[in-house]
Chain A
């Protein structure tokens, strides 16, 4: 369902060209829970940005559900992100001063159609991550783990094809870590496709399959 073929990405900084990705090839099937592991500086974030349709690759092809991402312009990319990608960030990225409910509803503001049952949907999602009694709390009134749970609910509001989680537990204590990973596992059991990016082997262990990113290339299975 998700296919990366010979993806390269270079950055130009003055006269110096840095090749971050040097031909990444791998695919993810529908319903899979895949961890991409790699130590920092190995291009994990770049890969994540490309897979999240936040930037275009320099070369190679990336297709999601048969759509060649390279052919999309800026507006189409935005719409694609809106419909198909659910982001879970390391730093949560909730809007400050905005209630959990409104944060979850935020992607729908930019959706082509604003569903009639948006609020009920958001409330249901918040309940499913255990925040039914925190719906109107603002980020300042929530703990780190609760922040991330709101973010997960937000990632699910558009029923995306992929959930892209970039170090989702990087800023959390071990109790919250277990909670969040538990939620992701549960989503996997419900049939969601989840791509987890991490440097931590213990986190990667939650996933069904692990691939390794090293020197700008992907290695399956072994270290």
Chain B
């Protein structure tokens, strides 16, 4: 009962001192809004990262031609995987199947008077199973297309939009570096590739057509996707592949690999490490800004205590104990930070929606709300304690004569 009465005194007081209330709420609002945006951004980014990792496939191992520390696909110019390499890899125990990929980046495309560029990949029919991605409309490249060196292609949705706008691309002919290809299918949408690029700005053509007609690389293959039976064996099989390739390529012990092997685990590690620095910086801001809000609160509450000495003295004279004064001022702080927190979450969500509208990945879930409420109450308690104690420890006689 008494608690409720004192809480009522506190809320009356926050309504009475409007400027002070607005200033404190504003400070907390900025802090909590920042926190909300950062949490949403981080969650959005994490979600996208998880998608990228999922897009790689947990049962997949990618073998890239050419060594070094580069990320992303190997192109046909680097290609050095031989037919023997591929056959040996396919024979490793635990490997379900492999699919070769011939890659050339940013090839010029033309349809009518529309120009664009896209990655062009030469693939076999089992690419669909290897990536769990086929044609959303039309047909996928078949074994027959590969045998006949057909000039047909499946195109990604981004490429389709660039070249055809709202037109139906199926059955149309496009030029890939001046060679004409017939569009037979539209690929399922995928979003970001594991390398972080647009996985829908892509053209697939038959592997044989790519090697012999378009990219002039009949001997070697630029990439091999290996699908294994048990994802837990990924690391072990990757080691076996490495051994086979080093032997086949006759590399001396001192020589570096002339190929790269990546597993889902490594891709995840790589993606996470690149996104870490930004995340850390954002979190720093997210932590600092509510603290600044707390310092503002403490400042204004200290001012309020010295302005309201007389009132404190009066309350003491009328029988308020020290703990009542502490409770009243602490409650005032928490009311202010909590309401500031509510506004802050509101503004934060609005900003997050705006950022999403601008095309950045944002995930809005219940977490920012929970975090904001807990943090705002904590700030009120933490930064409100000192002013409240100061108020309670005033000498009642001196305070009343103020």
Contact = CB atoms under 8 A, between A and B. Distances in A.
Contact of B311 (A49, A54, A95): A95
Given A109-B2, A109-B5, A109-B6, A95 B321 contact: no
Interface stretch (B58-66, B150-158, B197-205, B312-320): B312-320
Contact of B315 (A75, A110, A112): A110
Given A97-B16, A109-B5, A110-B2, A55 B319 contact: no
A82 interface: yes
A49 B2 contact: no
B396 A54 contact: yes
B311 A79 contact: no
Contacts of B12: 98, 102
Contacts of A110: 2, 315, 318-321, 324
B147 interface: no
B1 interface: yes
A212 interface: no
B318 A81 contact: yes
Given A93-B314, A97-B16, A109-B6, A83 B321 contact: no
B9 interface: yes
Given A55-B397, A93-B400, A97-B16, A87 B317 contact: yes
Nearest to A97: B16
28 contacts: A49-B397, A54-B397, A74-B321, A74-B322, A75-B321, A75-B322, A75-B323, A78-B316, A78-B319, A78-B320, A79-B321, A81-B317, A87-B317, A93-B314, A93-B400, A95-B311, A95-B314, A97-B16, A102-B12, A106-B318, A108-B5, A109-B9, A109-B320, A110-B321, A111-B2, A111-B319, A113-B1, A154-B318
A38 interface: no
A115 B314 CA distance: 21
B319 A83 contact: yes
Given A81-B319, A95-B314, 5 more contacts: A109-B6, A110-B315, A111-B319, A113-B1, A114-B2
A168 to B, nearest CB: 15
A100 B16 CA distance: 16
Nearest to A87: B317
Contact of B318 (A49, A55, A87, A112): A87
Interface residues of A, number: 28
A83 B9 CA distance: 20
B145 to A, nearest CB: 84
B9 to A, nearest CB: 6
B396 to A, nearest CB: 5
Nearest to B321: A78
A111 B321 CA distance: 10
Given A95-B311, A109-B5, A52 B319 contact: no
A54 B313 CA distance: 10
Contacts of A52: 317
Interface in A74-93: 74-75, 78-79, 81-83, 87, 93
Interface in A153-178: 154, 158
A107 interface: yes
Interface string B240-261: 0000000000000000000000
Contact of B1 (A83, A95, A114): A114
Contacts of A93: 310, 314, 317, 400
Nearest to B318: A107
Interface in B1-51: 1-2, 5-6, 9, 12, 16
